[in-house]
Amino acid sequence: GQQLNQSPQSMFIQEGEDVSMNCTSSSIFNTWLWYKQDPGEGPVLLIALYKAGELTSNGRLTAQFGITRKDSFLNISASIPSDVGIYFCAGLWEYGNKLVFGAGTILRVKS
């Protein structure tokens, strides 16, 4: 299958700071999804991207579908304590028929 490399693995930031994380692959993807998972719960869909270059926001979250179609980025502005959790990227490979997930970015926020 096609792999997604998600980075960073973890982040420990100060409340109020902006956060950036990304997902990359050597293969082309047609769809990128970003999820957030709180401890003991299932992942929640944050943003879905379908076109190269697409930039979509959801409140303080902004995600972009890379122009090469091999990467995607998620930014969180002005982080708050409830942003804590694991963020997953997921993609649909151009020749695939199921989602591929990244390993996740663990976000911790110091208040």
Q: Which is nearer to another protein, 7 or 77 (CB)?
A: 7
Q: Which is nearer to another protein, 43 or 85 (CB)?
A: 43
Kindly list the residues in this chain that would bind another protein in the complex (CB under 8 A): 31, 33, 35, 40-45, 48, 88, 90, 92, 97-99, 101-104
Q: Which is nearer to another protein, 72 or 79 (CB)?
A: 72
CB 110, min distance to another protein, A: 23
SS3 sequence of the chain: CCCCEEECCEEEEECCCCEEEEEECCCCEEEEEEEEECCCCCCEEEEEECCCCCEEEECCEEEEECCCCCEEEEEECCCCHHHCEEEEEEEEECCCCCEEECCCEEEEEEC
CB 109, min distance to another protein, A: 20
